[in-house]
Structure 1
Amino acid sequence: MGSSGVGKTELAKALAELFDDENLLVRIDMSQYMDHHSVACLIGAPTGYVGARQLTEAVRRRPYSVVLFDEVEKAHHSVCDILLQVLDDGRLRDGQGRTVDFTNTVIIMTSNLGAEHLVPGLSGNTTMQAAAGDKVMQQVKMHFRPEFFDRLDVKVIFKPLSPDQLREVARLQMQDVTNRLAERGIALAVSDAALDYALSQCYDDSTYGAISGWLEMRVVTELSKMLRREEIDENSTVSIDAAAGGKGLSYHVENNGGL
């Protein structure tokens, strides 16, 4: 549980990477399952009808998977009944009558319920953190039936990211860009000042997704333009720093000093 952009979905992605195959992540957006008839999209329509099997077919083909039910609170209660079968028996019968085994899957459900109680600034106050966590858990318990809630092995509350954690997120995101350039023989060096500038631009929405989006739109786009203009080659080192006066980012290229 937690507000948007604090890393809930990223946790599932990171877990799938431990299997050395990002395709092992089965992500299901539960906002698409808000009515009773959407059950068929998960398990398939009965024999003689045409219908999707987004969940059962994915797990049948890849039994060792990480299954992510994103924003599970938005699903219709009949959909939660289907999930309850998985949590209870570790098996699920699809619309064609085939039994799909879930015993080798890791199931993660995310929720934004109670996120309004998890406001930034609580990191230094243990008492307020505990009180906020209790409020979140109470709201979650009120939303889901006890038999569903009690079958969840672990309940984790994600607190808002602190400035230091946001800086680490920015470093991780830039490392991804660094790795992509390294595949082309180009080295990338990013200063702390550049990361701090990026965070300042995301101040009103300092979340995992906001940082990633800003870096992709501004930094990756600029590097792509430099590549197209042939300002960077496979023997280049690109240094990114905060521009003077805090007005953007500066890019410095050293040829023949890269990898």
Structure 2
Amino acid sequence: IIVMTSNVGGELIKRHMTIGFAAHIDGERKQQTEYEKMKENVLGEVKKDQRFRPEFLNRIDAQVVFHALSEEHIRQIVDLMLDQVIASVQEKNVTLEITDEAKDFLGKKGYDPDFGARPLRRTIQNLVEDPLSEALLRGEFLPGDTVVVDCAEEEIVMKPLVKETT
């Protein structure tokens, strides 16, 4: 199996995104009909596009047009990527707690309508993984600590969880 991606017809998909959100209000059936129309237009665009010769297109068994990512999908992707970060610092006996505000901020910062969720990986690396690694190396967080990752004033902040003494 070989999977190839292209942004041919990307403009049609972007234009459809607003239609898709409006259609959701009217029900799932209308949304599916709108998607089918958009898919037909995109596949027609692929056939008309000069970048792909007919001989090449005839060798492809199937073409899939994906639905645009919703905010819920982006949040799920953020959660999956952050789970990997959490697991990697747990190996160093450091617990990571990430607030919903931080997750939402990372999703907004890392999602690009033109590139989808691809930039999310870089965003999480630049805003969470790299600063956390540097803080661990400087000794700001120690084994046994719980680090809270939050969003304040449009930036990611990290601080140790202060344990209440009884």
In the other structure, the counterpart of 1:135 is: 41
Instruction: Report deviation, 1:188.
Output: 1.3
Question: Percent identity at matched positions?
Answer: 28
Paired amino acid for 2:38: A
State the Cα distance separating 1:164 from its structure 2 match.
0.8
Q: Map 1:202-241 onto structure 2 (within 5 A).
A: 202=110, 205=112, 207-241=116-150
Q: Could you tell me how far apart the structure 2 residues matched to 1:249 and 1:146 are?
A: 49
Deviation at 1:141, TM superposition (A): 2.2
Equivalence map 1:1-259=2 (5 Å):
106-119=1-14, 120-121=17-18, 122-123=20-21, 124=24, 125-143=31-49, 144-202=52-110, 205=112, 207-243=116-152, 246-254=153-161
User: Which structure dedicates a bigger proportion of its chain to helix?
Assistant: 2
Q: 1:145 offset after TM fit, Å?
A: 4.3
Give the Cα separation in 2 of the matches to 1:172 and 1:189: 14
Paired residues, what number?
A: 148
Q: CA deviation at 1:194?
A: 1.1
Name the structure with the higher strand share.
1
For normalisation by structure 2, the TM-score amounts to: 0.75
Structure 2 contact 94–142 (Cα < 8 Å) conserved: yes
- 2:37 and 2:86 map into 1 onto residues whose CA distance is 41
How many angstroms apart in 2 are the aligned matches of 1:179 and 1:235? 14
Alpha-carbon separation, structure 1, partners of 2:5 and 2:73: 20
Q: Distance in 2 between matches of 1:135 and 1:195?
A: 35
CA distance in 2, matches of 1:146, 1:185: 56
Give the drift of 1:242.
2.6
Unaligned runs of 5+ in 2: 25-30
| Shift, 1:228, TM fit | 1.9
Cα drift, residue 215 of structure 1: 1.5
Assess if the C-alpha contact under 8 Å between 2:127 and 2:156 holds in 1.
no
Secondary structure, aligned partner of 1:184: coil
Letter in 2 for 1:231: E
Task: Give 1:116's aligned amino acid.
Answer: E
Query: Secondary structure of the residue that 1:108 maps to in structure 2?
Result: coil
Classify the secondary structure of the residue corresponding to 2:2: strand
Query: How far apart, in 1, do the equivalents of 2:78 and 2:139 lie?
Result: 27
Q: Measure, in 1, the Cα distance between the counterparts of 2:67 and 2:11.
A: 11
Q: Does structure 1 retain, via aligned residues, the 8 Å contact 2:97–2:149?
A: yes
For 1:186 and 1:255, the matched residues in 2 are separated by 14
- Is this contact kept in 2: 1:236–1:255, CA < 8 A? no
Which has more radius of gyration?
1
**Runs of 4+ residues over 6 Å off in structure 1:** none
CA distance in 2 between partners of 1:189 and 1:199 (Å): 17
Gaps of 5+ in 1: 1-105
